Amino acid sequence: MPSAGELREIWAADTEFKPEGGVEGGKPFPLCLVARELRSGQVIRLWRDDLLRLPRAPFDTGPRSAMLAFFASAELGCFLSLGWPLPHNVLDLYVEHRWRNNGGRLTRRTALIDVMRDQGLPFMAEIHKEAMRKKILEQHSYSADDRREILNYCHEDTAALDPLYHRSERWLDLPRALLRGRYVAACARVEWNGIPADTEWWERLVAHREPILRR
């Protein structure tokens, strides 16, 4: 696993998506991606039309770079939806937050907005975040203004990763964090493929759940 000094580029990335067919729990239908390289400040903003034209991510995902995200399985699910190879190195600040705080006072507060507040870092208002999530999930088409607004919202989440990463550097164990990132990538593949299940037995279990629990 590379150390921080061995990584040439660290790309903070965020995607916005909705479930395919509007079905809760469906595979991600990517709408846009925003990525920012932490050292150079280079920013990439792409809507779905442009993403579909690419055979791979629009930034370096090789062994000397890392993709930085918060709850990275969402972004990796979009990679799989687009047919892109997954990044070689993944650094998931959600996982690192859980690793550091499990069993403590922040165990139940795991959203990006909660973590930013706990670290004393500025972030968007919760009402704005909810309004944008509603727009993304409930609208069936997006005007040019909608696209610009959604990309700006996605950009805000991406921009938040920069100060959060630098605030976390003092306790971040990067080689092991990247190992945990590999596990997140494996989980993203499991979510994409689905878990084989005997649906007939599952329906019987659900129907008899309460009596089973009582016994």
How many H-runs (helices) and E-runs (strands) does the chain carry?
9, 5
* pLDDT for the residue 77: 98
Q: Domain locations in the chain?
A: 4-214
Domain 4-214 has CATH 3.40.50.300: no
pLDDT tens, per residue, the chain with 215 residues: 776 678 999 999 999 999 998 888 889 999 999 999 999 999 999 999 999 999 999 999 999 999 999 999 999 999 999 999 999 999 999 999 989 887 766 656 788 988 998 889 999 999 999 999 999 999 999 999 999 999 999 999 999 999 999 999 989 998 999 999 999 999 999 999 988 889 899 999 999 999 999 99
Query: Does the global pTM surpass 0.85?
Result: yes
Distance (Å, whole) CA 88 – CA 39: 19
* Exposure on the CB side of residue 61, measured as CA atoms within 13 A: 17
* Exposure on the CB side of residue 147, measured as CA atoms within 13 A: 14
